[in-house]
Chain A
């Protein structure tokens, strides 16, 4: 298992720096920690389960290993005199960490500037991470805000969150006296706000996580329900779009909430007098009563996998899903054509006004849609050319905004308004397609698989579904806005103000501008509860 290619030479006239602080001792083997955690080689005799093929360790590496072992016995742990300097030990890329269970993995080097990702990869990763399930709610958000307002709000929110993200990225550079290479944003918050900052930022992160889990669960139940229904109807050749308000052509679009006064469709409104089989099916395949529990059965085996990293291989499903959605939307738009009418303030039977006062609902959705602030530092760390970080961030945000705009505008514009009102657009726009529609069925399948591979915990899901019943409206504009409040608006601005104040560079315009951002964030959250 030891795979030392240490016959390579160790060059370099590095200065042996005894003053360097070993840094926080954590498990992730940060390079600042590495010096005191060497030696680097465990001989086969110390590993519990040795494979039959014992790989050779080179003489050089073996001798160095013994030397380091011996020298470490000669001094106290606090004394750094006999710790091996970097140039005599193999580079971090040649080091392996062994688990007693026999597996080995390579060390990641976290040093600044050691990232291997080109700009393109970094931009793609940021885009991929930001593209979440909020994309399904953008058309609804535009509907709530009005078309023109919606577009403006999307662009403005994009810019605002971009600026705050920029603040997050730059927050570490304002501290010159400390070594911040290993810091994530909660560490920065801790530095400025003490432990309150650390815990509150973690709490807000958790809130967004729980919110995301709720969304995932709901969407998965939804997709599973529709998939099941599609398969059932396909097998039994039932066409159930007749009784629901829908368009009468080959591209059916339905309005599920037409008859039920605004609540999403929980059960199908179909009843078949003579078909007890279908009734049985309806009884056992209910969107909110039974399907979520079937979902438990589906997810439980997945959670018994030995290594959760298995699922990271399915990351590509996320990208594929989004691309497919784009294709789907384009296709439908081409088939359905554009139906836009511009009424500025007065709602009509089929259209919504251009400017509506429910636009905060859109901002609520967008705060979650543009949220990446808790991991942007880590994502940008691996950028090969660190000086291009800001540029890449801006490009990524631009791409994300364009994607959201594209999908939102197309769905909104192509929604067939003469028969159906724009008000019918659902919070999840796939709900507007009947379960018999093949293309959307495929989209649901993709998304279902993708979410299943992403779904981490199962623990509080039954409880979450309960909450969904209690609160009714389960789409977490609240959690998005709540954590968005802290991470996106308040913390970056506040930290910037404080650091400027410490350096005595705080000017009135900057102060006013950032306080305004904080007020916007607070307002965003409060207003969610009034809509």
Chain B
């Protein structure tokens, strides 16, 4: 999407300096209450200290890293990020491995607490790590805990920092690791991705993960196509609300770029104690609208007929919103249960 000589307009809501605006649930059931982690479903982001989890989280969720990521010690406690994404999921960061015996005890005593109610486990491996045996050992102990406490959880393995490997060797090394991890994970099934924060692979991996968690995704897509035809739009896309992850895999460069642009804009808005709600980008050739859609998603509508007034498109989007909310609600209030 070229942005040459275009104007950007936004509508601001003064909601305070949060990255993630409260969900627009019309029935207002829960409001903005501090989540009780014992009850909410979790996404566990685990890995060795220094494998890149904090940077990853900061980049995906547009969180400002307030301190030096080169910590001298491992994280003692689990980091609650209070990032709500996909409705009621809370992201927890935990450093796994590399601690002394004191930490080991703490880990084992808190284990049940940590691994209960886990929706998704994302385990990060540093491709440059020299202690492969140890890494696998910690991974396996996490898997055991998962098997005991949350056997339904989905497992994803990210082989991270791939930019440090020479380009012609990347596929080979990744395949090796993938085979090893698959083998070690049995009887659980894990999906592996190779990632690096310096290209679009991180975005792609997280998009795949997150979109496996959206309920009714097929039905959503069919309805979106209909919607696009009705309003005569060139393109209609869904982005996840907190992270702007998009399901489309074909043009990952483009969507990662859009996501980065919007997240950067969100950060700028938050510095003014405003939160980002919607955006319209218009030029003589096209008009694009990015707006809140359902409780979990943003929508981007691209119209190549600039003669259609913005108001018309915005009304269409607003009307469609109700329909799509209903679609998401099929399973009731706990809308993020996985469909099995």
Contact = CB atoms under 8 A, between A and B. Distances in A.
A1 to B, nearest CB: 13
Interface in B160-183: 163-168
B167 A63 contact: no
A82 B55 contact: yes
B257 A66 contact: yes
Given A67-B198, A67-B260, A16 B63 contact: no
B257 A45 contact: no
A74 interface: yes
A20 interface: no
Interface stretch (A5-13, A243-251, A474-482): A5-13
Contacts of A85: 163, 198
A197 interface: no
A13 B65 contact: no
Contacts of A16: 164
Contacts of B264: 66, 69-70, 73
Interface in B176-232: 197-200
Given A13-B164, A69-B264, A85-B163, A45 B3 contact: yes
A63 B260 CA distance: 9
B256 A63 contact: yes
A70 B263 contact: yes
B198 A81 contact: no
A54 B5 CA distance: 13
A74 B253 contact: no
Contact of A87 (B59, B163, B268): B163
A517 to B, nearest CB: 50
Contacts of B198: 64, 67, 84-85, 88
Nearest to A54: B4
Contacts of A9: 167
Contact of A79 (B68, B163, B164): B68
A74 B63 contact: yes
A74 B267 CA distance: 8
| Range for the number of chain A residues in contact with chain B | 20 to 34
Nearest to A15: B164
Nearest to B58: A74
Interface in B1-51: 3-5
Interface string B44-72: 00000000000100110011110011100
Interface string A1-34: 0000000011111111010000000000000000
Contacts of A82: 55, 58-59, 65, 197
A88 B261 CA distance: 20
B288 to A, nearest CB: 16
B259 to A, nearest CB: 9
A75 interface: yes
A45 B59 contact: no
Given A13-B165, A60-B253, A84-B198, A79 B65 contact: yes
Contacts of A67: 198, 256-257, 260
Contact of B257 (A12, A62, A75): A62
A283 B291 CA distance: 86
A44 interface: yes
A344 interface: no
Nearest to B67: A79
A59 interface: yes
Given A45-B5, A69-B264, A11 B69 contact: no
Nearest to A19: B70
A64 B256 CA distance: 10
Nearest to B161: A16
A284 interface: no
12 contacts: A11-B168, A16-B164, A18-B70, A45-B3, A59-B254, A62-B257, A63-B200, A70-B264, A73-B267, A74-B58, A75-B58, A82-B55
Given A60-B253, A67-B198, A87-B164, 12 more contacts: A13-B164, A16-B164, A45-B3, A62-B257, A66-B260, A67-B257, A70-B263, A74-B63, A75-B58, A75-B64, A82-B59, A87-B163
